[in-house]
Amino acid sequence: MTDYILDRKQLETRLAKLAETPYTGEVSFGAMCYSPMCIDKEITYECVACGESTKSRIYAKNERSHKKIQDIVNELKSAGFDVFLDERVYCKYCNDKNPDENQYPTFMIRFDSKDFYHKVESNSRYDYLCLNAFLSGCDYFLDSYDVTQPLYYNIDCIVKMTGLTGSAVEAWMHVIREDRRTEFSEFMRKQWEKHKSEI
Ligand SMILES: [Zn+2]
């Protein structure tokens, strides 16, 4: 059973701490196999809002990732979070634009019923895995390739997905974000060398 943190203040404190605490845990480099991309076919999307079916190329490309995203959002809902995934972009009945244009579902979250929802458009599994790790008290997550992604290097992604902020986070976002990217490459390189020497 995962211990989710629902309270906004506690989450902000946690985010500030994460932004300042270098990751020292285990690292996985994942399996070096990549799933085939660029599937050019149409599949049917069953709309969760209106129940109609739409044949969509965009949905065909996103299907696997989207199912994982739905799972994560449902898990957050069961944990008690006020979250919602608006995926009407895939439905030609709910969407006044062409469902084959590149559009993203909208994720919404709020930590208090008095707040407005924080809204973000994303179809990236990475974003939702990162969000889930943050809310569930982990300090890393495994991305789609099973590579370890410490939250310390993903503060911007957490901010994008939650709308949470704070002074430590502001500093991270505006001053040290690029340094962190370089630091992360260096960190992974060192870990990789250590890993190679052990096998
Ligand atoms: Zn619909």
CB 155 within 8 A of CB 169: yes
CA 116 to chain centre: 20
pLDDT at site 37 = 54
50 Cα–ligand 1 center, Å: 4
pLDDT tens per residue across span 110-169: 999 999 999 999 999 999 999 999 999 999 999 988 889 999 889 989 999 999 988 778
The pLDDT value recorded for residue 31 is 67
Distance (angstroms) between ligand 1 centre and the Cα of 49 equals 5
Dist CA 98 CA 187 (whole Å): 43
In sequence order, the 6+-apart residues with CB closer than 8 A to the CB of 151 are: 18, 23, 130, 133, 134, 138, 139, 140, 141, 158
Q: State the chain's mean pLDDT as an integer.
A: 87
The model's pLDDT over 46-73, given as tens digits with 9 standing for 90+, comes to 999 999 999 888 888 888 889 999 999 9
Q: What was the pLDDT predicted at 64?
A: 87
The alpha carbon of 47 and the centre of ligand 1 are apart by a number of angstroms equal to 5
Distance from Cα 95 to the centre of ligand 1, integer Å: 7
